[in-house]
Structure 1
Protein backbone atom coordinates (compact mmCIF):
# COMPACT_ATOMS: atom_id res chain seq x y z
CA UNK A 1 0.00 0.00 0.00
CA UNK A 2 2.90 2.41 0.59
CA UNK A 3 3.64 2.57 -3.13
CA UNK A 4 -0.01 3.25 -3.92
CA UNK A 5 -0.04 6.39 -1.79
CA UNK A 6 3.42 7.56 -2.84
CA UNK A 7 2.42 7.56 -6.50
CA UNK A 8 -0.43 9.88 -5.69
CA UNK A 9 1.99 12.48 -4.33
CA UNK A 10 3.11 13.48 -7.80
CA UNK A 11 0.68 15.54 -9.82
CA UNK A 12 1.47 15.24 -13.50
CA UNK A 13 0.61 18.29 -15.56
CA UNK A 14 -0.38 18.16 -19.21
CA UNK A 15 -2.00 15.50 -21.37
CA UNK A 16 -3.02 12.13 -20.00
CA UNK A 17 -3.85 13.35 -16.51
CA UNK A 18 -6.85 11.77 -14.86
CA UNK A 19 -8.30 13.36 -11.74
CA UNK A 20 -9.13 11.37 -8.63
CA UNK A 21 -11.07 12.99 -5.78
CA UNK A 22 -10.13 12.24 -2.19
CA UNK A 23 -13.41 11.39 -0.52
CA UNK A 24 -14.30 10.86 3.12
CA UNK A 25 -17.81 9.62 2.29
CA UNK A 26 -17.03 6.89 -0.22
CA UNK A 27 -16.33 3.40 1.08
CA UNK A 28 -14.17 2.23 -1.83
CA UNK A 29 -11.98 3.44 -4.66
CA UNK A 30 -14.16 3.73 -7.76
CA UNK A 31 -13.87 4.53 -11.44
CA UNK A 32 -15.96 4.14 -14.60
CA UNK A 33 -12.90 3.53 -16.80
CA UNK A 34 -12.90 -0.17 -17.63
CA UNK A 35 -9.89 0.35 -19.92
CA UNK A 36 -7.74 1.28 -16.89
CA UNK A 37 -8.10 -2.14 -15.26
CA UNK A 38 -5.17 -4.46 -15.83
CA UNK A 39 -7.07 -7.12 -13.89
CA UNK A 40 -10.76 -7.26 -13.02
CA UNK A 41 -13.21 -9.74 -11.50
CA UNK A 42 -16.54 -8.93 -13.14
CA UNK A 43 -18.39 -11.50 -11.01
CA UNK A 44 -18.20 -9.09 -8.05
CA UNK A 45 -21.30 -6.91 -7.93
CA UNK A 46 -22.00 -4.42 -5.16
CA UNK A 47 -24.73 -1.89 -4.58
CA UNK A 48 -23.32 1.63 -4.08
CA UNK A 49 -25.51 4.15 -2.27
CA UNK A 50 -24.67 7.85 -2.57
CA UNK A 51 -25.32 10.57 -0.01
CA UNK A 52 -28.41 11.73 -1.90
CA UNK A 53 -29.94 8.24 -1.58
CA UNK A 54 -29.44 7.23 -5.21
CA UNK A 55 -27.89 3.83 -5.98
CA UNK A 56 -25.76 2.29 -8.71
CA UNK A 57 -24.22 -1.15 -9.11
CA UNK A 58 -20.48 -1.83 -9.15
CA UNK A 59 -19.87 -4.33 -11.94
CA UNK A 60 -16.47 -5.61 -10.87
CA UNK A 61 -13.42 -5.06 -8.70
CA UNK A 62 -9.79 -5.16 -9.68
CA UNK A 63 -6.43 -3.54 -10.14
CA UNK A 64 -5.59 -0.29 -11.92
CA UNK A 65 -2.03 0.47 -13.04
CA UNK A 66 -0.90 4.07 -12.63
CA UNK A 67 2.20 5.57 -14.23
CA UNK A 68 4.50 7.67 -12.07
CA UNK A 69 6.06 10.83 -13.44
CA UNK A 70 9.43 9.11 -13.96
CA UNK A 71 7.73 6.33 -15.96
CA UNK A 72 7.54 3.50 -13.42
CA UNK A 73 4.16 2.12 -12.52
CA UNK A 74 2.27 1.20 -9.38
CA UNK A 75 -0.77 -1.04 -9.11
CA UNK A 76 -3.72 0.19 -7.04
CA UNK A 77 -5.76 -2.72 -5.67
CA UNK A 78 -9.45 -3.05 -4.80
CA UNK A 79 -10.83 -0.49 -7.25
CA UNK A 80 -14.53 -0.88 -8.02
CA UNK A 81 -15.69 -0.62 -11.62
CA UNK A 82 -18.84 1.52 -11.59
CA UNK A 83 -19.87 2.39 -15.17
CA UNK A 84 -22.23 5.18 -14.03
CA UNK A 85 -19.53 7.12 -12.14
CA UNK A 86 -18.76 10.59 -13.45
CA UNK A 87 -15.67 11.07 -11.26
CA UNK A 88 -12.91 8.82 -9.94
CA UNK A 89 -13.00 8.46 -6.15
CA UNK A 90 -10.24 7.53 -3.73
CA UNK A 91 -11.56 6.46 -0.34
CA UNK A 92 -9.81 8.07 2.62
CA UNK A 93 -11.50 5.43 4.77
CA UNK A 94 -9.59 2.68 2.95
CA UNK A 95 -6.35 4.51 3.72
CA UNK A 96 -7.30 4.76 7.40
CA UNK A 97 -7.95 1.00 7.46
CA UNK A 98 -4.44 0.45 6.08
CA UNK A 99 -2.87 2.40 8.96
CA UNK A 100 -2.55 5.84 7.40
CA UNK A 101 -3.56 9.00 9.26
CA UNK A 102 -4.72 12.38 8.00
CA UNK A 103 -4.55 16.00 8.98
CA UNK A 104 -6.74 18.71 7.49
CA UNK A 105 -5.80 22.31 8.18
CA UNK A 106 -5.86 25.55 6.30
CA UNK A 107 -6.58 24.73 2.69
CA UNK A 108 -4.94 21.32 2.39
CA UNK A 109 -5.02 17.72 3.57
CA UNK A 110 -1.95 15.69 4.48
CA UNK A 111 -1.79 11.89 4.60
CA UNK A 112 0.83 10.22 6.82
CA UNK A 113 2.14 6.67 6.81
CA UNK A 114 2.54 4.60 9.99
CA UNK A 115 5.93 6.27 10.64
CA UNK A 116 4.29 9.74 10.50
CA UNK A 117 5.96 10.54 7.17
CA UNK A 118 3.91 12.76 4.84
CA UNK A 119 3.12 10.71 1.75
CA UNK A 120 0.44 12.92 0.23
CA UNK A 121 -0.38 16.62 0.48
CA UNK A 122 -3.23 18.04 -1.58
CA UNK A 123 -4.53 21.61 -1.71
CA UNK A 124 -8.24 22.34 -1.67
CA UNK A 125 -9.71 23.51 -4.98
CA UNK A 126 -11.95 26.57 -5.37
CA UNK A 127 -15.06 24.37 -5.03
CA UNK A 128 -13.79 22.94 -1.70
CA UNK A 129 -12.74 19.51 -3.00
CA UNK A 130 -9.41 17.70 -2.90
CA UNK A 131 -8.24 16.17 -6.15
CA UNK A 132 -5.04 14.67 -7.45
CA UNK A 133 -3.91 14.06 -11.00
CA UNK A 134 -2.25 10.82 -12.05
CA UNK A 135 -1.58 8.99 -15.31
CA UNK A 136 -3.52 5.75 -15.69
CA UNK A 137 -2.11 3.05 -17.93
CA UNK A 138 -4.38 1.46 -20.52
CA UNK A 139 -4.71 -2.30 -19.83
CA UNK A 140 -3.67 -3.10 -23.40
CA UNK A 141 -0.28 -1.50 -22.69
CA UNK A 142 0.43 -3.00 -19.31
CA UNK A 143 0.26 -5.94 -16.98
CA UNK A 144 -0.58 -5.64 -13.29
CA UNK A 145 3.05 -6.00 -12.25
CA UNK A 146 4.68 -2.97 -10.61
CA UNK A 147 8.03 -1.84 -11.95
Structure 2
Protein backbone atom coordinates (compact mmCIF):
# COMPACT_ATOMS: atom_id res chain seq x y z
CA UNK A 1 0.00 0.00 0.00
CA UNK A 2 1.26 3.48 -0.86
CA UNK A 3 0.58 6.11 1.76
CA UNK A 4 -1.65 9.15 1.24
CA UNK A 5 -4.12 7.80 -1.32
CA UNK A 6 -7.52 6.14 -1.43
CA UNK A 7 -7.59 2.35 -1.49
CA UNK A 8 -10.35 2.46 -4.13
CA UNK A 9 -7.92 4.29 -6.45
CA UNK A 10 -4.97 2.03 -5.69
CA UNK A 11 -3.20 0.99 -8.91
CA UNK A 12 -1.36 -1.75 -7.06
CA UNK A 13 -4.57 -3.78 -7.03
CA UNK A 14 -4.20 -4.27 -10.77
CA UNK A 15 -0.96 -6.20 -10.40
CA UNK A 16 -1.02 -9.96 -10.59
CA UNK A 17 -1.97 -12.11 -7.61
CA UNK A 18 1.60 -13.15 -6.87
CA UNK A 19 2.36 -9.54 -5.87
CA UNK A 20 -0.64 -9.27 -3.57
CA UNK A 21 -1.29 -10.49 -0.08
CA UNK A 22 1.74 -9.16 1.79
CA UNK A 23 -0.31 -8.89 4.97
CA UNK A 24 -1.70 -12.34 4.30
CA UNK A 25 1.86 -13.58 4.60
CA UNK A 26 2.23 -11.64 7.84
CA UNK A 27 -0.90 -13.38 9.07
CA UNK A 28 1.12 -16.55 9.29
CA UNK A 29 3.40 -14.80 11.81
CA UNK A 30 2.17 -14.50 15.38
CA UNK A 31 0.78 -11.06 16.28
CA UNK A 32 -1.61 -10.12 19.08
CA UNK A 33 -4.71 -12.30 18.87
CA UNK A 34 -7.10 -9.35 19.30
CA UNK A 35 -5.55 -7.06 16.68
CA UNK A 36 -6.94 -6.59 13.18
CA UNK A 37 -4.59 -5.91 10.27
CA UNK A 38 -6.03 -3.70 7.50
CA UNK A 39 -5.07 -5.66 4.40
CA UNK A 40 -5.45 -4.68 0.74
CA UNK A 41 -4.34 -8.15 -0.37
CA UNK A 42 -7.15 -10.06 1.35
CA UNK A 43 -10.26 -10.68 -0.72
CA UNK A 44 -12.30 -11.45 2.43
CA UNK A 45 -12.22 -10.66 6.12
CA UNK A 46 -10.35 -13.36 8.06
CA UNK A 47 -10.16 -14.23 11.74
CA UNK A 48 -8.07 -16.64 13.78
CA UNK A 49 -10.73 -16.58 16.52
CA UNK A 50 -13.35 -19.26 15.98
CA UNK A 51 -14.92 -18.26 19.32
CA UNK A 52 -15.70 -14.77 17.98
CA UNK A 53 -17.94 -16.00 15.17
CA UNK A 54 -21.72 -15.76 15.47
CA UNK A 55 -24.27 -17.25 13.08
CA UNK A 56 -21.48 -19.35 11.67
CA UNK A 57 -21.74 -22.07 9.06
CA UNK A 58 -19.12 -24.52 7.78
CA UNK A 59 -17.17 -23.83 4.61
CA UNK A 60 -14.28 -25.59 2.92
CA UNK A 61 -12.36 -22.96 1.01
CA UNK A 62 -8.71 -22.97 0.02
CA UNK A 63 -7.11 -19.53 -0.21
CA UNK A 64 -3.81 -18.81 -1.89
CA UNK A 65 -1.66 -16.23 -0.08
CA UNK A 66 1.75 -14.69 -0.69
CA UNK A 67 4.60 -16.90 -1.91
CA UNK A 68 2.01 -19.41 -3.19
CA UNK A 69 1.25 -20.61 0.34
CA UNK A 70 -2.28 -21.89 0.94
CA UNK A 71 -4.57 -21.70 3.94
CA UNK A 72 -7.87 -23.45 4.54
CA UNK A 73 -10.98 -21.60 5.71
CA UNK A 74 -13.15 -23.86 7.88
CA UNK A 75 -16.22 -21.72 8.64
CA UNK A 76 -17.79 -18.33 8.04
CA UNK A 77 -19.81 -16.00 10.25
CA UNK A 78 -20.22 -12.55 11.80
CA UNK A 79 -17.80 -10.93 14.24
CA UNK A 80 -19.11 -8.16 16.54
CA UNK A 81 -16.44 -5.79 17.86
CA UNK A 82 -16.24 -2.82 20.19
CA UNK A 83 -14.06 -0.50 18.14
CA UNK A 84 -12.52 2.73 19.45
CA UNK A 85 -14.44 5.86 18.47
CA UNK A 86 -17.59 3.98 17.42
CA UNK A 87 -20.69 3.67 19.59
CA UNK A 88 -22.15 0.20 19.93
CA UNK A 89 -20.79 -2.84 18.17
CA UNK A 90 -19.47 -3.02 14.63
CA UNK A 91 -20.46 -6.13 12.73
CA UNK A 92 -17.98 -7.74 10.36
CA UNK A 93 -20.03 -9.97 8.09
CA UNK A 94 -18.85 -13.02 6.16
CA UNK A 95 -15.62 -13.31 8.12
CA UNK A 96 -13.76 -16.52 7.36
CA UNK A 97 -12.12 -18.53 10.13
CA UNK A 98 -8.87 -20.33 9.39
CA UNK A 99 -6.84 -22.26 11.99
CA UNK A 100 -3.75 -21.53 9.86
CA UNK A 101 -3.79 -17.81 10.69
CA UNK A 102 -2.09 -16.12 13.62
CA UNK A 103 -3.87 -12.78 13.36
CA UNK A 104 -7.10 -11.20 12.04
CA UNK A 105 -7.46 -9.41 8.70
CA UNK A 106 -9.84 -6.68 7.56
CA UNK A 107 -10.19 -6.69 3.79
CA UNK A 108 -9.83 -3.24 2.21
CA UNK A 109 -11.79 -4.52 -0.78
CA UNK A 110 -14.77 -5.47 1.40
CA UNK A 111 -14.61 -2.11 3.19
CA UNK A 112 -14.65 -0.23 -0.13
CA UNK A 113 -17.58 -2.35 -1.34
CA UNK A 114 -19.62 -0.88 1.53
CA UNK A 115 -19.07 2.58 0.05
CA UNK A 116 -16.40 3.58 2.55
CA UNK A 117 -12.95 4.95 1.78
CA UNK A 118 -9.62 3.95 3.26
CA UNK A 119 -6.80 6.50 3.36
CA UNK A 120 -3.26 5.57 4.34
CA UNK A 121 -0.77 8.11 5.72
CA UNK A 122 2.40 8.30 7.81
CA UNK A 123 0.54 8.36 11.12
CA UNK A 124 -1.90 5.55 10.33
CA UNK A 125 -5.02 5.04 8.25
CA UNK A 126 -8.57 6.34 8.25
CA UNK A 127 -11.74 4.53 7.28
CA UNK A 128 -14.19 7.22 6.16
CA UNK A 129 -17.88 7.30 5.35
CA UNK A 130 -18.75 8.45 1.82
CA UNK A 131 -22.49 7.73 1.88
CA UNK A 132 -24.10 9.60 4.77
CA UNK A 133 -24.86 13.32 4.97
CA UNK A 134 -21.52 13.88 6.71
CA UNK A 135 -19.30 12.70 3.88
CA UNK A 136 -15.70 12.21 4.82
CA UNK A 137 -16.53 11.53 8.46
CA UNK A 138 -13.82 9.36 9.98
CA UNK A 139 -15.44 6.17 11.21
CA UNK A 140 -12.32 4.42 12.37
CA UNK A 141 -8.62 5.06 12.73
CA UNK A 142 -5.86 2.49 12.50
CA UNK A 143 -2.28 2.95 13.64
CA UNK A 144 0.86 2.23 11.66
CA UNK A 145 3.00 -0.16 13.65
CA UNK A 146 5.76 -2.62 12.75
CA UNK A 147 5.16 -2.09 9.04
CA UNK A 148 1.41 -2.78 9.07
CA UNK A 149 -1.78 -0.81 9.64
CA UNK A 150 -3.72 -2.24 12.55
CA UNK A 151 -6.83 -1.71 14.66
CA UNK A 152 -7.02 -2.78 18.28
CA UNK A 153 -10.61 -3.28 19.57
CA UNK A 154 -11.62 -2.05 22.99
CA UNK A 155 -11.86 -4.60 25.77
CA UNK A 156 -15.22 -6.33 25.51
CA UNK A 157 -17.48 -6.71 28.52
CA UNK A 158 -16.06 -9.64 30.48
CA UNK A 159 -19.45 -11.18 31.36
CA UNK A 160 -20.48 -11.02 27.71
CA UNK A 161 -17.16 -12.52 26.66
CA UNK A 162 -17.53 -15.37 29.13
CA UNK A 163 -21.06 -16.05 27.91
CA UNK A 164 -19.82 -16.24 24.33
CA UNK A 165 -16.55 -18.09 24.80
CA UNK A 166 -17.03 -20.42 27.76
CA UNK A 167 -19.14 -23.06 26.03
CA UNK A 168 -17.09 -22.67 22.87
CA UNK A 169 -13.85 -23.21 24.78
CA UNK A 170 -15.16 -26.38 26.40
CA UNK A 171 -16.43 -27.80 23.13
CA UNK A 172 -13.32 -26.74 21.22
CA UNK A 173 -11.03 -28.60 23.63
CA UNK A 174 -13.40 -31.58 23.68
CA UNK A 175 -13.10 -31.89 19.89
CA UNK A 176 -9.37 -31.16 19.82
CA UNK A 177 -8.80 -33.95 22.32
CA UNK A 178 -10.64 -36.51 20.20
CA UNK A 179 -13.98 -36.19 22.06
CA UNK A 180 -12.29 -36.99 25.37
CA UNK A 181 -14.69 -37.63 28.27
CA UNK A 182 -15.31 -34.91 30.83
CA UNK A 183 -13.39 -36.55 33.66
CA UNK A 184 -10.13 -36.69 31.72
CA UNK A 185 -10.65 -33.21 30.31
CA UNK A 186 -10.81 -31.89 33.87
CA UNK A 187 -7.64 -33.81 34.76
CA UNK A 188 -5.82 -32.26 31.82
CA UNK A 189 -6.99 -28.78 32.71
CA UNK A 190 -6.17 -29.07 36.42
CA UNK A 191 -2.96 -31.12 36.51
CA UNK A 192 -1.68 -32.88 33.46
CA UNK A 193 -1.34 -30.27 30.72
CA UNK A 194 -0.50 -26.61 30.21
CA UNK A 195 -2.68 -24.35 28.08
CA UNK A 196 -5.94 -26.31 28.36
CA UNK A 197 -8.30 -23.63 29.69
CA UNK A 198 -12.06 -23.54 30.18
CA UNK A 199 -14.40 -22.66 33.05
CA UNK A 200 -15.86 -25.05 35.61
CA UNK A 201 -19.42 -24.66 34.42
CA UNK A 202 -21.41 -27.70 33.40
CA UNK A 203 -20.32 -29.38 30.19
CA UNK A 204 -22.61 -29.02 27.20
CA UNK A 205 -23.71 -32.22 25.47
CA UNK A 206 -21.77 -33.10 22.33
CA UNK A 207 -24.10 -34.08 19.49
CA UNK A 208 -21.51 -36.36 17.88
CA UNK A 209 -20.88 -38.20 21.16
CA UNK A 210 -24.60 -38.60 21.83
CA UNK A 211 -25.16 -40.08 18.37
CA UNK A 212 -22.13 -42.32 18.78
CA UNK A 213 -23.57 -43.85 21.95
CA UNK A 214 -26.92 -44.61 20.38
CA UNK A 215 -27.61 -48.30 19.79
CA UNK A 216 -29.61 -49.52 16.83
CA UNK A 217 -32.71 -51.53 17.63
CA UNK A 218 -32.47 -55.17 16.45
CA UNK A 219 -34.24 -56.10 13.26
CA UNK A 220 -37.48 -58.03 13.81
CA UNK A 221 -37.23 -61.77 13.37
CA UNK A 222 -38.48 -63.18 10.10
CA UNK A 223 -41.90 -64.83 10.22
CA UNK A 224 -41.05 -67.30 7.43
Q: TM-score range by the shorter chain?
A: 0.7 to 0.9
Moved more, 65-74 or 109-118: 65-74
The answer for the alignment partner of 1:121 in structure 2 is: 141
Q: Which residue of 2 aligns with 1:75?
A: 91
The 5 A counterparts of 1:1-147 are 18-42=34-58, 44-67=59-82, 72-114=88-130, 115-125=135-145, 127-134=146-153, 135=155, 138=161, 140-141=163-164
The structure with the greater share of residues assigned to strand is 1
Which structure has the larger Rg over C-alpha atoms? Answer: 2
Task: Choose between structure 1 and 2: higher helix proportion.
Answer: 2
RMSD of Structure 2 on Structure 1 (CA):
2.5
Asked whether the equivalents of residues 34 and 152 of structure 2 are also in contact (C-alpha less than 8 Å), the reply is yes
Shift of the 107–72 alpha-carbon distance from structure 1 to 2, 3 Å rule, reads: closer
Query: Could you tell me how far apart the structure 2 residues matched to 1:63 and 1:21 are?
Result: 17
1:18-43 Cα shifts (integer Å, max 9, x gaps):
1111111111111121111122111x
Q: Is the CA contact (8 Å cut-off) linking 2:34 and 2:103 kept in structure 1?
A: no
The alignment covers a number of residue pairs equal to 124
TM-score by length of 1: 0.73
1:86-123 deviations in Å (ceiling 9; x for gaps): 11111111101111112222232112111221112222
Would the aligned equivalents of 1:38 and 1:139 in 2 still touch at CA under 8 Å? no
Q: TM-score, normalization: structure 2?
A: 0.49
